[in-house]
């Protein structure tokens, strides 16, 4: 009985200490950037690792550079006690000799303090580097870190368009419940085609532009995939607030800076030997006349001198909407004539939280008419769980509501092959675009015998 009494006293003491610590006031972070004190009950069910950095690198991500045949960008995060960073890279081999004499690349380090509303302040150092002098088709191993704090070794396969098609995965909005509901989509996509060259995100990666726990969820959902398959992303309206870009965007990503001045890392282009990828900043088109005109002039001049066989453009707001009574007339008025003039092949969009695709010719009345001879395919898709109604507008040849999807696009010679899969890995839509010199693309539909999902399931 005496032993049980002691155990009871010890349990009471543990409970008292726990509640005392949970209700301690927050410490002054300005004097303690390397450590974070917060209520352990602040985020129920969310690990500190999702939110707070440590000495060990986290949120490791590859991004495409303007010339992905020669270089790839890498970024990662640490706490503020780690004031510099290094990339170690070697040609991948069958054994552990990759660690014997790797090439070392010093990273650029920047500090960011962020806070969303009344949530804890996050102090972090972000590190970015360019891994250059790479060879097409070669596989490399790399790790990031400094001193005694390193990531694991990752492997990255360089593109090799002469021997295999360029391929990538396209995601519409992830945005909500990213850790819980989007993670299965990005993982199923990688399982479906692991050997893709990059992943493309058409905006609204998260819901609240500066909420670091949401960025933590986004990085968690992709896990090591972010460090092995490069990403490109265009910002959506949820990466902005009052036309101010997410403070995490530029520190945590390392995207090309070859677009109009003032739109670095949101409006840019990437060049493969026969394929150009262009990101436009849709929110700045919508909100800023100056940035709209700058992007319009930049895009026209870029496409006028474009020798590439294939061109894909991505931005967040759809030229043609899937949602009833939603219409981005300004975008269509200013940019669709440029797409038509230079015969852009495919336009990849998000925002409307449904699926729709079709070839469209905008007639003078403003109505949406399906016109396959236009040669440009417009796609709207969604990968996260937030869903809107889907309209019955004629521009869509295939559509879906209440469906999380990912799309795999491959380009080889004169064929662009497109497949859309639902989150459970089933083929939902497919087509090929066939290119002929001097003619609009020919559309070859390969729609599977699967009924359209249009109502709540």
pTM: 0.89
4: exposed, middle or buried (Cβ count in 10 Å: 0-12, 13-18, 19+): exposed
177-to-61, 70, 122, 242, 420 alpha-carbon distances in Å: 21, 36, 21, 23, 22
Considering the segment(s) 49-157 as one domain, its CATH architecture is Sandwich (2.60)
pLDDT value for 45: 55
Task: Determine the Cα–Cα distance for residues 381 and 387; give it in Å rounded to an integer.
Answer: 11
CA proximity to 200, closest of 172, 242, 240: 172
Largest CA-CA distance found in the chain, in angstroms, rounded: 94
449: exposed, middle or buried (Cβ count in 10 Å: 0-12, 13-18, 19+): exposed
Query: First vs last Cα of the chain: how many Å apart?
Result: 59
CA proximity to 405, closest of 170, 166, 207: 170
pLDDT over 90 (residue 3): no
Instruction: Classify 274 as helix, strand or coil.
Output: coil
Task: Determine the Cα–Cα distance for residues 362 and 332; give it in Å rounded to an integer.
Answer: 8
Q: Where are the domains of the chain?
A: 49-157, 166-445
pLDDT digits (tens, 9 = 90+) for 94-111: 999 999 999 999 999 999
456-to-51, 174, 296, 322 alpha-carbon distances in Å: 34, 19, 39, 16
Q: Has domain 166-445 been given CATH number 3.40.50.970?
A: no
> 175 near 81, Cβ under 8 Å?
no
pLDDT digits (tens, 9 = 90+) for 125-180: 999 999 999 999 999 999 999 999 999 999 999 999 999 999 999 999 999 999 99
Domains 49-157 and 166-445 equal at CATH topology level:
no
pLDDT digits (tens, 9 = 90+) for 230-246: 999 999 999 999 999 99
CA proximity to 148, closest of 82, 89, 103: 82
């Amino acid at each position: 009985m005496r032993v049980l009494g002691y155990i009871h006293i010890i349990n009471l003491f543990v409970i008292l200490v726990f509640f005392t610590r949970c209700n301690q006031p927050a410490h002054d972070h300005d004097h303690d950037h390397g450590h974070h004190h917060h209520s352990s009950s602040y985020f129920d069910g969310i690990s500190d690792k999702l939110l707070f950095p440590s000495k060990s690198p986290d949120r490791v991500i590859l991004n495409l550079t303007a010339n992905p045949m020669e270089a790839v960008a890498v970024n990662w995060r640490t706490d503020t006690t780690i004031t510099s960073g290094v990339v170690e890279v070697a040609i991948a081999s069958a054994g552990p000799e990759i660690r014997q004499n790797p090439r070392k690349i010093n990273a650029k380090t920047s500090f960011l303090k962020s806070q969303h509303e009344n949530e804890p302040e996050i102090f972090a150092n972000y590190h970015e580097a360019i891994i250059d002098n790479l060879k097409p088709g070669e596989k490399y191993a790399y790790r990031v870190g400094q001193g005694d704090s390193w990531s694991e070794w990752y492997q990255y396969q360089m593109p090799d368009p002469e021997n295999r098609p360029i391929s990538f995965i396209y995601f519409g909005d992830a945005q909500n419940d990213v850790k819980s509901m989007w993670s299965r989509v990005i993982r199923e996509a990688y399982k479906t085609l692991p050997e893709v060259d990059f992943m493309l995100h058409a905006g609204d990666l998260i819901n609240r532009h500066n909420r670091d726990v949401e960025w933590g969820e986004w990085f968690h959902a992709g896990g090591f995939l972010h460090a092995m398959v490069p990403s490109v992303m265009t910002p959506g309206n949820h990466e902005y607030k009052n036309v101010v870009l997410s403070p995490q965007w530029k520190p945590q990503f390392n995207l090309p800076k070859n677009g109009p001045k003032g739109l670095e890392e949101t409006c840019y282009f990437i060049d493969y030997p026969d394929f150009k990828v262009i990101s436009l900043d849709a929110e700045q088109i919508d909100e800023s006349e100056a940035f709209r005109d700058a992007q319009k002039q930049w895009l026209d001049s870029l496409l006028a001198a474009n020798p590439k066989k294939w061109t894909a453009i991505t931005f967040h707001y759809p030229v043609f909407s899937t949602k009833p009574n939603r219409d981005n007339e300004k975008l269509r008025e200013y940019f669709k004539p440029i797409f038509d003039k230079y015969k852009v092949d495919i336009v990849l969009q998000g925002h409307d939280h449904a699926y729709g695709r079709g070839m469209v010719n905008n007639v003078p009345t403003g109505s949406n008419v399906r016109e396959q001879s236009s040669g440009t395919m417009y796609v709207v898709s969604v990968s996260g769980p937030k869903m809107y109604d889907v309209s019955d507008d004629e521009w869509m040849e295939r559509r879906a509501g209440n469906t999380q999807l990912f799309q795999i696009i491959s380009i080889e010679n004169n064929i662009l092959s497109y497949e859309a899969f639902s989150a459970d890995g089933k083929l939902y839509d497919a087509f090929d675009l066939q290119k002929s010199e001097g003619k609009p693309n020919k559309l070859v539909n390969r729609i599977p015998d699967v009924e359209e999902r249009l109502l709540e399931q």
